[in-house]
A and B are shown apart, each in its own frame.
Chain A
Amino acid sequence: MSGDATRTLRKGSCPPGPVPEGLIRVYSMRFCPYSHRTRLVLKAKGIRHEVININLRSKPDWYYTKHPFGQIPVLENSQCQLIYESVITCEYLDDTYPGRKLFPCDTYERARQKMLLELFCKILDYQNTTFFGGDHITMIDYLFWPWFERLDVYGVADCVDHTPMLRLWIAAMKRDPTVCALLTDKHIFLGFLNLYFQNSPNAFDFGLIC
């Protein structure tokens, strides 16, 4: 079970306390592809963190003190510093924490990954190696992954029929330990979507046992 399997906090809930020393907090939502990026990077780098899920249809009033428009993801550290925008959170984590560097060291290669991100929708022309950054997983693969995990759910898996390289990439990603650890079951996603389109505030807690 993923480390973020907790009920969302909604309007009327009490604000969480300060973030303990040595930990970083991410405000998230289990089915959001943007906060999925941040969670992938936290996992890949082995960063000790806690997750607070936010109910996006019934946001707590205190949450607007974390983000002016109540968006996710947001990182909060023990110095009360807040960082938001998914790509900015991912870069911040890579810069701040030691261990495995997800962005390449080479300046041009880093620029190239950023250019790839810009072309997210036009990725097909740019893949000439197994992963988008070369022969092993790097930042750009994690930044793309959340949408491909959802392709199957959204019924648009056919769009990779004509793209064998991309299909191979998806298969390779599913073998990555970090991706596996956070993979959400298709039926849970479908259950969430179903409730979400009915505007149900219970959508965000779908699939939780407790």
Chain B
Amino acid sequence: MSAKSLSAGSAPPGPVPEGSLRVYSMRFCPYAQRTLLVLMAKGIRHEVININLKSKPEWFFKKNPLGLVPVLENSQGQLIRESVITCEYLDEAYPGKKLLPDDPYEKACQKMIFELFSNVPSLMVSSFKLQQNKEDCSGIKEELKKEFNKLEEVLTKKRTTFFGGNSVSMIDYLIWPWFERLELMELNEWATQTAKLKLWIAAMKEDPAVKALLMDVKHYQNFLRLYLQNSLEACDYGL
């Protein structure tokens, strides 16, 4: 996972060995982090190839015509893209701890909660960009607070620590990467009004998969600064 990224001009990797699984990723990408969390949580053996998103290898478009990470590739050469789809695929294809509930209604509930979260990523990006340009982002932050309150309501109604019950499950992993980056976005002050979310964040930080991938906020800050400047070295910051 600490491997240098592959850039334009690099040789394509060979086929995925039998019994293994490969994920095309980028160390700072929250979407790819979802897939890595699920791989960790289920103890699935895998190899990681990091992609330089500022200088994508030509061969990568054969893995995903959209050129985005994460992408899963198995030893049969099957490719799965879109972070949520990769996570569901892993839960279905691999044994061990089931992250999605078997009960159809409970499964549907997790997906409906996920819909409630859907505005958060773009609002966070907008907020950060305004912040970087020293523009007023109070409007966006108010919008974000509203979105967080929806999630707070869910936890209040359910009266459980996690979004799927009393232990961590798929929905928690799918939304976690953005909460890990909150400090970066200077959004910590909202936490005082969302008591249940605060407890959830603390509980998530104790989860082994989350802990294994947890990154220092300074690293994210430096990566993001370089990334927004379109630096070719952004994706390998800290290596």
Contacts and interface: CB of A to CB of B under 8 A. Distances in A.
A5 B198 CA distance: 49
B158 to A, nearest CB: 14
A112 B82 CA distance: 11
B195 interface: no
Chain A CB within 10 A, most for which of B78, B80, B105, B107: B105
A61 interface: no
B212 interface: no
B131 to A, nearest CB: 30
A95 B111 CA distance: 14
B217 interface: no
B1 interface: no
B186 interface: no
Given A92-B104, A108-B89, A115 B80 contact: yes
Given A108-B80, A115-B85, A83 B93 contact: no
Contacts of B105: 81, 83, 92, 96
B72 to A, nearest CB: 9
A110 B82 CA distance: 13
B178 to A, nearest CB: 20
A156 interface: no
B80 A96 contact: no
Nearest to B110: A88
A85 interface: yes
Interface string A20-40: 000000000000000000000
Interface size class of A (residues with CB under 8 A): 10 to 19
A91 interface: yes
B141 interface: no
Interface in B163-209: none
A118 B64 CA distance: 13
Nearest to A97: B104
A84 B112 contact: yes
Nearest to B116: A68
B142 interface: no
A120 to B, nearest CB: 13
Residue in B89, B93, B108 with the greatest tally of chain A CB atoms within 10 Å: B108
B81 interface: yes
B136 interface: no
A114 B108 contact: no
Contacts of B78: 108
B104 A95 contact: yes
A70 B92 CA distance: 33
Interface string B77-96: 01011100110110011000
Max chain A CB contacts within 10 Å: which of B104, B112, B115?
A: B104
Interface of B: 78, 80-82, 85-86, 88-89, 92-93, 104-105, 107-108, 111-112, 115
27 contacts: A83-B105, A83-B112, A85-B111, A85-B115, A88-B111, A88-B115, A89-B108, A91-B107, A91-B108, A91-B111, A92-B104, A92-B108, A95-B107, A96-B104, A96-B105, A107-B92, A108-B80, A108-B89, A110-B89, A110-B92, A111-B80, A111-B85, A111-B88, A114-B85, A115-B82, A115-B85, A118-B82
